[in-house]
Amino acid sequence: MELVIEPEVLLVNKPLEWTSFDVTNKLKRMLIHRLRRQYPDQETKKVKVKVGHAGTLDPLATGLLIVCVGKETKNIDSYMGLPKEYTGSIYFGATRPSFDKETEIDALYPMPELSLEQLNAASKKFQGEIEQIPPKYSAIKIDGVRAYASARKGEEPEMKARKVLVERFDITELNWPIAHFHIRCSKGTYIRSLAHDLGKELGGGAYLESLCRTKIGNFDLSKALSIEELESKFNT
């Protein structure tokens, strides 16, 4: 008889520089360890643990990651379809090929200092249903190959525009050349692309300085546990 994990939904605060895959792998090991501790007499039996996340976060992003465990993994698509909210910051006056800090600066733009009002007027042009070109440094597959894998080889994957819904894009604070924002959007929206496109709209360049996912549907980051808190939870 194999040991099967109970279905569960976990809210995780993803650490900086961890991939979403790193988080699910870590949780899978924690859950297997907990299951074996609960049933020490079954230690030689097969342990069946399914773990999956509902919406990738880039390594340089932090915040809310929904992780489904056991039979709950069958419902991943329903969580992925929920609207998402983010806070973060944009740096104006430079661009990077990845649209974030994964790659080095490739161009500088002498931009005049802009006001909060000017930035918000420009950001409103990216609200509603828009066509967005994803970054070439993304996990989108093109002919079976991840775009970022091609980009890291110096190739130029052909990124096609797609429709996304941006419900809110507010610049909330300004300390030039860095602006802080709050965004509510549909699944599939690349915040890095919004930062890049906003820089172009303003006649210069910009890249994503930082990003934190704060909500997925009604699930809130304030309810999420850190990796350390999850370790403590599963070892209790």
| Contact predicate 218/211, CB 8 Å | no
113-136: burial string, b at 16+ Cβ within 10 Å, e else: ebeeeebbebbeebbeebebebbb
Antiparallel, parallel or unpaired: β 61-69 and 8-14: antiparallel
Same domain, 193 and 105: yes
Pairing of strands 219-220, 206-216: antiparallel
Give the contacts of 39 (CB within 8 A, at least 6 positions apart).
Answer: 3, 45
d(CA 116, CA 64) in angstroms, rounded, equals 28
In this prediction, residue 157 has a pLDDT band, given cuts at 50, 70 and 90, of: confident
Regarding whether 212 and 98 lie in a shared domain, the answer is yes
Domain of 227 in residue numbering reads as 3-81+219-235
Q: How confident is the model at residue 138 (pLDDT cuts 50, 70, 90)?
A: confident
Same domain, yes or no, for 17 and 59? yes
Give me the mean pLDDT over the 195-211 stretch. Answer: 97
Provide the pLDDT for residue 159: 77
The backbone torsions φ and ψ at residue 13, rounded to the nearest 5 degrees and listed phi first, read: -90, 100
21 and 37 in a single domain? The answer is yes
Q: Give the catalytic positions in this structure.
A: 58
Q: Are the CB atoms for 222 and 72 separated by under 8 Å?
A: no
- Are residues 98 and 166 located together in one domain of the fold? yes
| 34 and 146 both lie in a single domain | no
Q: Are residues 199 and 91 in the same domain?
A: yes
Pair (223, 212) in one structural domain: no
Q: Do 231 and 139 fall into the same domain?
A: no
pLDDT value for 43:
55
Residue of higher predicted confidence among 139 and 104: 104
- Average pLDDT of the chain is 90
Residues 155 and 203 reside in one and the same domain: yes
Q: Are residues 66 and 10 in the same domain?
A: yes
The total number of structural domains in the chain stands at 2
Check whether residue 170 and residue 189 sit in a common domain. yes
CATH number at residue 140: 3.30.2350.10
> Which has the closest alpha carbon to 195: 130, 126, 136, 105?
126
